[in-house]
Amino acid sequence: MTAQTTAEADTTILRVRDLRMHFPIQKGFLRRTVGWVKAVDGVDLELNRGQTLGLVGESGCGKTTTSRCILGGYEVTGGEILFNDPELGWVDIANLSKDEMFSVRRNAQIILQDPYGSLNPRMTVLDIVGEPLLINGIRGSEREQRVAELLSLVGLRAEYMSRYPHAFSGGQRQRIGIARALALQPQMVICDEPVSALDVSIQAQILNLLEELQDRFGLTYLFVAHQLNVVSHICDRVAVMYVGKVVESAPTGQLYARPRHPYTEALLSSVPRPDPRNQADEIVLEGEVADPANPPSGCLFHPRCRYAVEQCRLEEPELRPAGAGHFVRCHLADDLELMGVSAPAA
């Protein structure tokens, strides 16, 4: 390896290359495989230490499957998930022994969307937040003290330790989930729609907490979400997914100000903004998201794209560089002048 790779090694924590995750469609008594759902089919991501990468897209685009793959939840169909583990160095999560996975799991944690479903109602807060500690051999009063610290870190009182999840509101439960994710002092945390289920005022509290914790511990977040305004607020970089593929990725400011993919443009224009004087002329996409089990030819977005030409129907575009840190999967990226989110005209 060259010197350049070593220098990179310090800043990059996760590098996903051409990740593919296909699920079989099985039919009949013999469960014969009759087709494949290409849930993830070409995802490239790069995550730098201390940064937040947003992974956005609509339901079924494969963003959650991608995050599960990164945590080693599936046996992936293809591609690499390289993780810079502080103890093991660069490892491929797609191809790990049990012991190695144990170490990676300490350093890559997850915060889930549903603050109701993700906490066991029959465990106390101490058991929930302390479970990862127990697994890693921290017991008794040491564990209790550590849980107390974690709770105060996320803005909950240590006295709440012996209570059960039902005694907490949605926002407080999300704080418990965050405390659990941070119990082992991970390097990277995957936040899977962490604020989608919360009211706006509570959502802002949790977003601020996540930012605060990031500053304090130098955490790296992979922020999976569909709320583009939340992503705009919290992410340094954004990757947009459509039917299993990353179609565009760029630094947040650039992506929002000057999107290069027609899907990103449509997505941004669709978001209703909380200002009656600044409503975008929304681009209403015709039709529905393509079926990942039966994708269209060429560019997956072409049936709904208002700029599509013959080439888009025939050839599948590659993800290619389009300016500093900007990548786009579109044949026409260089020719199109797409609309971003502009500041309101005073």
Where do contacts with other proteins occur on this chain (CB under 8 A)?
58-59, 169, 171-172, 199-205, 207-208, 226-230, 232-234, 252-253, 256-257, 266-277, 279, 282, 284-285, 288-289, 341-343
Residue 225 CA to residue 238 CA, distance in Å, equals: 10
Tell me the closest approach of the beta carbon of residue 88 to other proteins, in angstroms: 35
Cβ neighbours of residue 311 closer than 8 Å, sequence gap 6 or more: 298, 331
Instruction: Answer for the pair 247, 216: CB distance below 8 angstroms, yes or no.
Output: no
Tell me the closest approach of the beta carbon of residue 219 to other proteins, in angstroms: 18
Q: Which is nearer to other proteins, 108 or 225 (CB)?
A: 225
Tell me the closest approach of the beta carbon of residue 101 to other proteins, in angstroms: 33
Dihedral sign (CA 298, 301, 303, 306) = negative
Q: Which is nearer to other proteins, 47 or 230 (CB)?
A: 230
Q: Which is nearer to other proteins, 234 or 239 (CB)?
A: 234
Q: Which is nearer to other proteins, 136 or 227 (CB)?
A: 227
Tell me the closest approach of the beta carbon of residue 89 to other proteins, in angstroms: 34
Taking CA atoms, 105 is separated from 184, 193, 328, in Å, by 9, 20, 31
Tell me the closest approach of the beta carbon of residue 131 to other proteins, in angstroms: 26
Instruction: Answer for the pair 113, 107: CB distance below 8 angstroms, yes or no.
Output: no
Q: Which is nearer to other proteins, 60 or 298 (CB)?
A: 60
Instruction: Collapse the DSSP code of 155 into the 3-class scheme (helix H, G, I; strand E, B; otherwise coil) and give the result.
Output: coil
Classify residue 265 as left (phi > 0), alpha (psi -120 to 50) or beta: alpha
Instruction: Collapse the DSSP code of 54 into the 3-class scheme (helix H, G, I; strand E, B; otherwise coil) and give the result.
Output: strand
Q: Which is nearer to other proteins, 104 or 178 (CB)?
A: 178
Residue 289 CA to residue 235 CA, distance in Å, equals: 25
Tell me the closest approach of the beta carbon of residue 202 to other proteins, in angstroms: 7
Q: Which is nearer to other proteins, 39 or 81 (CB)?
A: 39
User: Could you tell me which of 180, 130, 115 has the C-alpha nearest to residue 154?
Assistant: 180
Residue 70 gets which letter from DSSP? H
Tell me the closest approach of the beta carbon of residue 60 to other proteins, in angstroms: 9
Residue 40 CA to residue 36 CA, distance in Å, equals: 11
Q: Which amino acid is at 315?
A: E
Q: Which two tokens stand for residue 214?
A: 């990031």
Q: Which amino acid is at 165?
A: P
Tell me the closest approach of the beta carbon of residue 262 to other proteins, in angstroms: 12
Residue 203 gets which letter from DSSP? H
Q: Which is nearer to other proteins, 24 or 344 (CB)?
A: 344
